[in-house]
Amino acid sequence: MQNMREQINNIYTLLKKDLLLEFRQQYTFFGILLYIASTTFVIYLTMGQPDDKVWNGLFWVILLFICINAVARSFLQEGRGRMLYFYTIASPIHFILSKLIYNSILMVLMSGLSLLLFTLLLGNPLQHSLLFFGISCLGGISLSLVFSFLAAIAAKAQQPSAIMAILGFPLIIPQILLLMRIANIAFADIVQNGLPQLVGMLAGFDIMIIALAYILFPFLWKD
């Protein structure tokens, strides 16, 4: 019990470190907000208020690029000297779990802000707004887990951007298609059957990513 509490405290300390860095480097956070606002506004100027399927597709594409900008940098911004320092004071499991939690929190916030701007500028075609909000938060967490794991791998490579593109494409495409299929339910008048099964598939994919990060990251940590 004492060991479990100590591990939670270590993860919380690393998570608090990332939150404090984000609070001090507010230009990064506001830069992402500017990207969300400007992209949504450009879509509004060019398309007005699109129909349901286009609205849904644009939302997830923009959320994908937000995730790339907000989450992928979590490992890429860590210099070699800083990583060596963390290597001496922290466990690799605690480090990767704190990154996954932090990026998940960040993407939940970004998902909510994106949905708010989409609703204000591009209209609200949703029949179940709360359901779509929950799906968008779940989707943001899923995307953050994938890109956090990919960023951890790419940070050890000579060309991290190319590595992330090569590794991310086969993982992100099926995930985005699954998220769009789940989100389509929020546009229908009646919530159709099959939602628990689709959410279960997405949750299983997230658990697989967390398990892979838990198993593989200690080997990357030693490099």
- Under a CB-based contact definition with an 8 Å cutoff, are residues 148 and 71 in contact? yes
According to the model, what pLDDT value does residue 25 have? 72
Looking at mean pLDDT, say which of 24-38, 130-144, 152-166 comes out highest. 130-144
pLDDT given for residue 79 in this prediction: 61
Give the pLDDT mean for 185-204: 78
- Three-class DSSP category at 213: helix
Domain of residue 65: give its range.
Answer: 2-221
Decide if 197 contacts 181 (C-beta within 8 A). no
d(CA 59, CA 40): 9
Specify the number of domains making up the chain: 1
Mean pLDDT of 189-214: 81
pLDDT in tens, 151-186: 877 776 655 566 676 777 777 888 888 888 888 888
pLDDT on residue 84: 65
Separation of alpha carbons 9 and 76, rounded Å: 25
Which pLDDT value is given to residue 1?
54
* pLDDT tens profile 5-17: 777 887 888 788 7
CB neighbour class for 199 (10 Å; exposed up to 12, middle 13-18, buried from 19): middle
pLDDT tens for 111-121 read 999 999 989 88
pLDDT digits (tens, 9 = 90+) for 44-62: 888 878 888 888 888 998 8
pLDDT of residue 46: 86
Looking at the predicted structure, is the pLDDT value of residue 130 above 80?
yes
Q: Would you place residue 191 in the very low, low, confident or very high pLDDT band (cuts 50, 70, 90)?
A: low
Q: Is the pLDDT of residue 211 over 80?
A: yes
pLDDT at 2 over 80: no
Per-residue model confidence (pLDDT) at position 217: 80
Average pLDDT for 115-141 = 87
Confidence of residue 82 (pLDDT cuts 50, 70, 90): low
Unique residue bearing structure tokens 């591990």: 7
CA end-to-end span of the chain, whole Å? 32
The confidence score (pLDDT) of residue 81 equals 63
pLDDT of residue 158: 57
